[in-house]
Each structure stands twice: as C-alpha cells, then as structure tokens.
Amino acid sequence: MLKRILLGLLLALVALAAVVAVKTWTTPSRQLAVAPAPKLDIDLQAAAKRLAGAIPIRTVSSLDDPAANLAEFDRLHAYLEQNFPKVHATLKKEVVGQKALLYTWTGSDAAAKPIALMAHQDMVPIAPGTEKAWSVDPFGGEIKDGFVWGRGTLDNKGNLFAQMEAIELLIASGFKPRQTIYLVMGDDEEVSGLRGAQPIAELLKSRGVKLDWVLDEGLLVLDGVLPGLSKPAALIGLAEKGYATFFLSLDTAPGHSSMPPAHSAIGSMSAALARLEANPMPGGIQGVAGQMFGTLAPEMSGINRVMLSNLWLTAPLVEGQLQKSPSSNAMLRTTTALTIVRAGNKDNVLPGRAEAAVNFRVLPGDTIDSVEAHLRKQLGNEEIKIKRYPGNSEASPVSPTDSAGYRTIERSVRQSFPDAIVAPGLMTAATDSRHFSILSDAVFRFSPFRMKNEDLARFHGTNERLAISNYGEMIGFYHQLLRNTSAAQPQ
C-alpha cells in the first residue's frame, strides 16, 4: 500500500514537472520584431551643450510660495525660443497659469485625434548639506566624462529638451504631422501639478479636445536591474499609483515626567504606528504587475524564467521574494510610509499632543477610502484623529496595451533601443499625466533613460547626470515616435 502511495506521488511529481517544463519553454515571446531606426543626422555635442545651458536656470518650484523663482522660468522660456527657432516659428505657444507652457503643432488631418507629449520645466532643490557631495556644481551645467551634469538633467529637462530637439529636426526635414500634437510643459510637477498641468488639461477640455493618447515621463530602460534578465528592460507605465497622506493627532493631558501615566501620548501613538507598519495592505502579482511579469518571463533565463512562467504554482514564493525589496514590493501593493512624527519639547514634560503623518502610494484597484478604512483598523485607537491631506489623488486608470498609443510607443522603443525588452509596468511615483485622464483613456509614462541600478539614486539625489550617448537615443526615440504616429492609420 505504501509503495503504491509513493509511486503515485512520484508520478504526480513527474507530471507536475512536465507541466512546468512545457509551460516554461513553450510560452512565446511577446516582443515586436522590428528593424532598428535609421541613425539620426544630428550634432550631438551641440545638442548636449544646449541642454547643459539650461541647467544653471534654477526653475525650482515651491509648494508654499507660488511666486518663487518666476524670473527663472522666464529665463528658461527665452532660452527655449533662442535655441529652437523652428519650433517657435511653427508651433503655437501659450503660457497657461503662471509659467506652464502649451505648444500646439497643428496636424494636416483635422479628423485625426490629437496626441500629447509631456515634460516639466521645474525641478527639485539640492538637499541642504549635500552640496559638497556633488562631483560638480549642481547648477553649473558642466559637460564632463561624456555626461551632462546637474540638477534637472534627468528630472526632467532631459525629456523636455530631447522633445524640442526632435521636433526642431523634424521641422527642418519638412515633416508635417498628420494629427495635431500638443506639447505640455508644466511648471510645478514636483509640487503637485495643480498650477500647471491641471489648468492645461482643463483648458484643452474646455476647447473640446479629446486626445488619442498621452506620453509623459515615467519608467525607464533598466540595464542589469532585473534579476534573470540579461537584456535591458524598457518599461512603459500603464498607470501610476495614487497619493494619500493622512495626518494623525492624539491629545492627552500634559503632565510632569515624574508621574507618568500608564499610556502617554507618545507611547500610544508609537504603538499605533508600529501596528500600522507591521500590517501592510494586502497585495500580490496581479493587474499591471501581472502583465509586466507575464511579458518578461519568456525573456528570462534559468530559475527566474521557470518561476515567472508558472505563477499559477509559484506565486507565493515569487511574491515572498519580491516583498523583500522596497522597489519590487511597491509594485505589489499599496505601500505604507511613516514620514513625520512630532511630540514634546522638554525632557521632563509629558506632551499633551502627539502628531504623525503617514503616506500611502495607492495601488490601482484600491481607493483612498479603502486605505483610510485600513488605517483606522490597524491603528486600533479611536482616540487618534485622522485628517486627509487636501492634495490626495486616487490611482490613475490603467491604460490599455491593445491601444494604438501603446503599440506606437512600443514599436518606437524597440526601434530606438533594439537591445531592450519592452514590457508594461506600473509607475510608483506621481507625474503630471494623472491630470490628463479627463482627456484620454490611454495615458502612458516612459522616459527613454538608460539606467543601471547605481544610477537610480541620482533622481532627486546627488550627482544627477545624463550620458550624452543616451541623450542621442532620447532624441532619436521622440523623433521616431512622432514619425510612427503620423504614419499610423486611425484604428
């Protein structure tokens, strides 16, 4: 009897192994087979100098002071006009709100739905105390060792100038777009986009504009970042997570530290925050993350290919590994971040108030209401008051991969980065594009930056820089994208 059971188990294991093997090695690649785009005839060193010349223009936006650095934005506008004369002679330029820019390149076919390319003018400041950690002056716009250095090269003047360079080249070649193209350049993306991108979206809506698709900054061409993938992965963001901050406060009677109560304001708040951090919202490989891993799996090697090709069996193991890394865990769930704690001002006084702030990045499928319900449950203390941040925003809709926009972007990426694997992905940070869901159901997020793992910290960090060779690829990508868009027939 025991031998029969063991034999049955062995046969079951053999059958299971066979199913896993067949599923692993017969899952086809989803990559488009296209020829690389022709190499552009461009003076790349001159283009790099034009980008470098914009770095000393300190277009740093402020949440609390809308009037901050307005003169710097005027300087940037003048610099753009000076360096891209054909763009400014051909496209209609409008200043919206304070300093946001909207360019309109009218297409030849009035019946064709327009598209929008987005980039933002503003940038974040240098973190106080880190200035000396930079290898160069962060606002010097220095060209050194094959890179353009300085704040804004990656986020987001690199995208903005690459788009302008591509369009200047297209105009010089006699190209005329079939559909109208809007260039949207917000001036406050780093502090919400409420003064720039949102008014532009509302302006276009008031004019009856419906966009076929939108492309903003977003996910990257990751080289050597994803385990098991020997080629770079170019990820196109189908959606971005929502933003939800909650301010917490707990009031108790203040008192002398010589006679402390059993539960102080600080202790009660700390215990509640610990419970919250220890119990994250549920998640898993589903939605956009499922689409991404499903696309990458056939391109993987070794055990990674086996595991990702058989998530019906291996999902718990794979999810357990992904949860160990903050970056991959963020793709699986709504994340919880304790960002501010305040209480007390003297060592021998029990404070009567403890305050905290918790920031959630909301996964598509969750809502701010469901996040607040989770927050209240996990805090486990009805005395803690909860207040929502007014700037909270829901997760964006998920854009379709079977749309003309995704197919055109995918093709352009494959042509411009022929060594890369293209897959859909989820943007875990916020962009100006979230304001454009009122104009299109196909909003995508992709920045054509080649990034290694060690380069990711340069975004908003120290020694931000852009490789000149990569800048040439970026210009080529936008050039090819607009050519492909104009050549595509309406779906």
Residues in the chain: 491
Q: Which amino acid is at 454?
A: E
Q: What is the residue whose two structure tokens read 């951090």?
A: 277
**Calpha distance 264→252 (Å, rounded):** 8
Query: Is 131 labeled as catalytic in the residue annotation?
Result: no
Q: Sheet of 353-362: strands edge to edge?
A: 335-343, 353-362, 242-251, 385-388
Angle between helices 44-54 and 70-83 in degrees, nearest 10: 160
Query: Active-site residue 189, yes or no?
Result: yes
In this structure, are residues 445 and 219 in contact, taking their beta carbons and an 8 Å threshold? yes
Can you tell me whether residue 466 is helix, strand or coil?
Answer: strand
Strand partners, 375: none
Q: Mapping DSSP to helix (H, G, I), strand (E, B) and coil, where does residue 43 land? A: coil
Integer CA distances (angstroms), 323 to 317, 318, 319, 330, 375, in order:
10, 9, 6, 8, 20
Closest CA to 433 of 458, 450, 409: 409
Residue 372's Cβ-count burial label (10 Å; 0-12, 13-18, 19+) is: middle
Catalytic residue among 189, 212, 464, 473: 189
Q: Mapping DSSP to helix (H, G, I), strand (E, B) and coil, where does residue 248 land?
A: strand
3-state secondary structure of 472: helix
SS3 445: strand
Residue linked to tokens 């207040």: 387
Exactly one of 72, 122, 155, 299 is catalytic; name it.
122
Name residue 445's amino acid. Answer: R
Q: Which residues contact 440 (CB under 8 A, 6 or more apart)?
A: 116, 210, 211, 212, 213, 214
Q: Which residues are catalytic?
A: 122, 189
